[in-house]
Amino acid sequence: MRTYERPVLLARAIASVQVQTFTDWELVIVNNGGESSVVDGVVRTAMNATPSGTIRVLHLPDRVGMEEASNRGLLDSESEFFVIHDDDDSWDERFLDTAIRALRSSSSAVAAVTGVTRIYETFRGGKVWPVSHEDFPLSQGLLTYRGMIGGNTFPPIAAVFRRTVLAAVGNFDASLPVLGDWEFNLRAVTAGEFYFIPDRLAHYHTRTPESDAVSGNSIIIGEELHRSVKLQLQDKWLTEPPVNGVNKGELSVVAATEVLLGEIRNNRSDALLNLERIASQIMRLQPMVRRIAHNVRHPVHGIRAVGRALRRTISR
Amino acid sequence: MTVQLSAEQVLDEHSLASVLSIDFFDTLITRSVAQPTHVFAVMEQELVATRGTAWRGFAVARVESELLARQGIESANEHRDVTFDEIGYQLTKQLELTRADRDMVMALERDIEIRLVQSVPFGVAITEAARSRGLRVVVVSDNYMPAEHLLNMAHAAGYVWLSASDIFVSCEHGGMKHNGMLWPVVLSALNVPTHSVLHVGDDEHADGNVPASLGIFTHVRDTMRRSHRDMINTSPAVLALSRIESCYRNAMDETGWDSAEVIGGGLIAMIVAAQVIDARSVLEQRSVAGVHFAARDGYLAHRVWNILKSHDWGLPNATYTAFSRSVVWRACLTEITRENVGRFVGDDEVLTVARLERRVGSALASDLDREKPIDAATARDVVLVNADAVLSASKTLRTRLLTYLQSHGVLIPGHHIVVDLGWTGSTIADLAELVAGESGDLGTLEGRLTGLYWDASPQRMRIAMHGFAMDEFGSITDNLRLLGVIKLLEALVTAPHGSVVGYEDDGTPIFVETAPELAAYDVVMRQVGDAAVRGAIAILEGTHPSGVTAADITKESLWAAIMQVGHSPRIDEINLLSRVNHVTSIDHEGNGRPLIAVTPKDPSSVELRDLPGMYDTLIHRHWMQGSLRALWSKPESAWIADEVYKRWPMTAPRWVP
């Protein structure tokens, strides 16, 4: 569990681990350069709860990237399975038990991913309260390589991994400021299946815009950064040699475009409102779309086809 | 209480009858659960245990399948009843069952019906009396099960004299009691005139009005359906309370239904048992310096603890510790500002200076008439002007509170647990800080609470807490449902004394008694509490006649019980609790608010734009579901409840996912 100066959310996150019906857990809290006495205080209080698993704190003297923080925590533990539990998310008490049972019953699976409820909450002045919630769209299909290549399909809180996957595909890419989980998932899924558990046992908490800035989600606050890192990753993959005749970057760009088209089809009114954003994304995608073109007999036709599809969908 | 006519009296009243026709379910036989659909909950429990978690949700699907099958019959304008096979067809579609699975669940249903069947004492008495008088006895039932199955159930319940030719069931004869079309078949088969038949059943319409309109003598006795709630709320979690309530239903068949006894011996007994179970579970896991039951929410559990202790349960001493939100907060007060003065005076309160003085524990300098009503803003200004005096009073209160805590062992170094109902943990967190500060961080507190909702999150920085039935990691809808029932639980899980508002110099707590609370205690809560203590002890000692034991008191079953009563109450519970006012003001003075919100005088004058405010008031200041059900039960105000259910779906009676 990586944390940085969000003690109320951290206290809640620790409690969400402590209430698990599966009790043989070890929680490694990586205090990513935040005030150590605050984290120690929260942990000391939490440890007054009737114990089940164990809690250890790793204080990093300086703040590092999210993925580096995850790697430090993994390095400091030896469990059979691991989860990256963000300090603002939470679980239903059956999460670990259900996910670990699934992994134990399916030896080919490298990860178990549960359904997710997205909770929108406002955090202000040290208080946090829910505003609304929705079912996070997730399915077995979105946990395949093809399903995930277009973009991140689930938050880390939903997944339990078998530790052996680290030996197979390596740790999180510490150079990535965001989207390290997506990049890791894409490598991990090549090592084995992600087992989907439809029960919504993971709670992905998102702060509303009215919340204090310090409590924000990385994905909401750094939307631009996420887009930029995604493009950089896709650029990098485009330079990699194809595997089984398929280039990872090309596949990602095509899938991302499909996701955009899907968004437009599914919610035309929102799409119109966000037209500017989408257009800007398409412009950014253009260079990569051109690269796809070498697999298409008539590249211009391919680009025009995408354009026509976009125009048709928007005009509906 | 209404005393029911005996079997002999019923027969005497209709001495011309030569045939006794008797309804089957809930007249001749019943089951060891509170309502018919709970049979499906037993099925789900067994299916999940033997065939895996994929069968979760079976019970609700079974209820829905029957409704769908009935809708199909109605839309085809048919007068017959639905058949078991048609329900099986809907179930197969809904759950995508294989043929083998369908056959298996239908056989299981028949099997479990036979396992759970019990005879109704009145049913035994009247059939025996009728037979001894030479009457022919037949069963006339509206049901989807074939006569052959009803016969097997009847034999299992002890009616061994019954034969297949004595049973007329709607699914086999093209008509129902309900629409009157089964009766010609029955009369023709018996070859008797209508005035020779006495029919006894539990449904006012199908067993009373309809046959009476045909000239048949009737007697309606609905005692076996008094434990019924909404059908749809059916899952294995409901079975603990269901079994307890079925025992009450049977025991009160002759004497009449006693709502206070049932609520106390049912839901409240389960809560109290859970409080004791939870405290014991901590003792089994770690060394504990003190177990403290908080006044007033822990009063009943403390009584149970001491009784069990005297029964050689090997329990340590536990204290009954009096503190309240207001005294702990005032004792911890170090400054008074515009930001925190609101905790002395609620936004909508109208006070007097005299009452404000009692509230802050100090004389207040003011030019205002001490007995003249003042609004919240003025009252807050008076407190701010007198900040020094108020802080001085707080300091004195702190000293006295610490004296009290010392005498109750709360300041002994080590880990203490505090047992309370809930709901945000802020008071126990304040207390924990006081204890930590006074003991040089050698004393720690852990809150063991019945329920916590999302407001508890910030307190987790200050105190470790556990919510037995619910915490903020449950769904938002369940968190909101909990908010809607906390006034009910606070009112019922209580003590025979008022809330603590201060302490004497020697630490003796000062309780304030309010007339509405005293009256409610005498009328309702004393009986509820006594029944709860008896019920909890029986559950914990494994002697409860329902067979419910400590092992059945789980997070799921306690949450379900809270929802069964708190979210889908029966009308008898609403009638009982409409007499109760709950006092929540900081000084525990005043008349408080009724648990059940008063129905608007002219419901037709309520406008849609009023509903958000109404919802807000109901969820924060009253027992929300009790109030909504009260509205729903009256034709003139039912639309308001329906509209609230529609706009805020989590308020709708269905709480099972």
Q: What is the pLDDT of residues B389-420, one digit of tens each?
A: 999 999 999 999 999 999 999 999 999 999 99
* CATH code that applies to domain B7-235: 3.40.50.1000
- Residue A153 predicted with pLDDT over 70: yes
Instruction: Residue B153: count other Cβ atoms within 10 Å of its Cβ.
Output: 21
Task: Give the model's pLDDT for residue A284.
Answer: 59
Task: Give the model's pLDDT for residue A304.
Answer: 59
Rounded CA separation B119/B250 (Å): 10
* CATH code that applies to domain A2-220: 3.90.550.10
- Contact across the interface for B473 and A93, Cβ inside 8 Å: yes
How confident is the model over A32-41, as a mean pLDDT? 96
Instruction: Choose, out of A37, A50, A94, the residue to mutate when testing the contact with B (most B CBs < 10 Å).
Output: A50
Task: Give the model's pLDDT for residue A219.
Answer: 59
- Residue B625 predicted with pLDDT over 70: yes
Q: Which amino acid is at B281?
A: S
Task: Give the model's pLDDT for residue A270.
Answer: 59
Domain residue spans of chain B? 7-235, 328-394
Q: What is the pLDDT of residues B262-299, one digit of tens each?
A: 999 999 999 999 999 999 999 999 999 999 999 999 99
Task: Give the model's pLDDT for residue A280.
Answer: 60
Task: Give the model's pLDDT for residue B271.
Answer: 98
Rounded CA separation A35/A21 (Å): 31
Rounded CA separation B18/B135 (Å): 5
Buried b / exposed e over B344-353, threshold 16 CB at 10 Å, is: bbeeebebbb
Instruction: Choose, out of B284, B476, B482, B647, the residue to mutate when testing the contact with A (most A CBs < 10 Å).
Output: B476
- Residue A314 predicted with pLDDT over 80: no
Q: Which amino acid is at B34?
A: A
**3-class DSSP state for residue B571?**
helix
Measured between beta carbons, the chain A residues lying within 8 angstroms of B415 are 48
Distances (CA, A) of B478 to B210, B336, B361, B483: 42, 36, 38, 9
Q: Which of A287-296, B321-330, B565-574, B645-654 has the lowest mean pLDDT?
A: A287-296
Task: Give the model's pLDDT for residue B78.
Answer: 78
Q: What is the pLDDT of residues A280-308, one digit of tens each?
A: 666 656 655 555 555 444 545 555 555 66
Task: Give the model's pLDDT for residue A297.
Answer: 47
Mean pLDDT over the full length of chain A: 86
Find the residue in B nearest to A123 (Cα): B458
Query: Which residues are CB-neighbours of A165 under 8 A, at least 6 positions away?
Result: A110, A111, A188, A191, A192
Task: Give the model's pLDDT for residue A226.
Answer: 85
- Contact across the interface for A92 and B463, Cβ inside 8 Å: no
State percent of chain B over pLDDT 70.
99
Number of residues assigned to chain B: 657
Task: Give the model's pLDDT for residue A242.
Answer: 83
Task: Give the model's pLDDT for residue A310.
Answer: 56
Instruction: Residue A305: count other Cβ atoms within 10 Å of its Cβ.
Output: 12
CA distance A33 to chain B (A): 19
- Residue A69 predicted with pLDDT over 60: yes
Task: Give the model's pLDDT for residue B516.
Answer: 85
- Residue B451 predicted with pLDDT over 70: yes
- Contact across the interface for A92 and B473, Cβ inside 8 Å: yes
How confident is the model over B16-23, as a mean pLDDT? 96
- Contact across the interface for A130 and B479, Cβ inside 8 Å: yes
| Closest by Cβ to A12, choosing from B285, B446, B460 | B460
- Residue B256 predicted with pLDDT over 70: yes
| Closest by Cβ to A46, choosing from B464, B471, B475 | B464
A221 or B250, which is more confident? B250
Q: Beta strands A109-124 and B19-22: pairing type?
A: unpaired
User: Helix, strand, coil proportions of chain B in percent (round to 5)?
Assistant: 55, 10, 35
Q: How confident is the model at residue B377 (pLDDT cuts 50, 70, 90)?
A: very high
Q: Which of A227-231, A271-275, B408-412 has the lowest mean pLDDT?
A: A271-275
A292 or B597, which is more confident? B597
Query: What tokens were used for A52?
Result: 């089940």
Query: What tokens were used for B234?
Result: 């059916």
Task: Give the model's pLDDT for residue A315.
Answer: 53
- Residue A4 predicted with pLDDT over 50: yes
Rounded CA separation B638/B628 (Å): 9
CA distance B359 to chain A (A): 27
Q: What is the pLDDT of residues B309-354, one digit of tens each?
A: 999 999 999 999 999 988 998 999 999 999 888 888 888 889 999 9
- Residue B230 predicted with pLDDT over 90: yes
Domain residue spans of chain A? 2-220, 222-315
Question: Which one-letter DSSP state was computed for residue B134?
Answer: T
| Closest by Cβ to A51, choosing from B285, B445, B457 | B285
Q: Which of A91-105, A262-276, A296-310, B155-169 has the lowest mean pLDDT?
A: A296-310
Q: What residues in chain B have their Cβ under 8 A from chain A's Cβ atoms? A: 281-282, 285-286, 415, 444-446, 454-455, 457-458, 460-466, 471-476, 479, 555
Whether the CB-CB separation of B308 and B540 falls below 8 Å is answered with yes
- Residue B97 predicted with pLDDT over 50: yes
Task: Give the model's pLDDT for residue B252.
Answer: 94
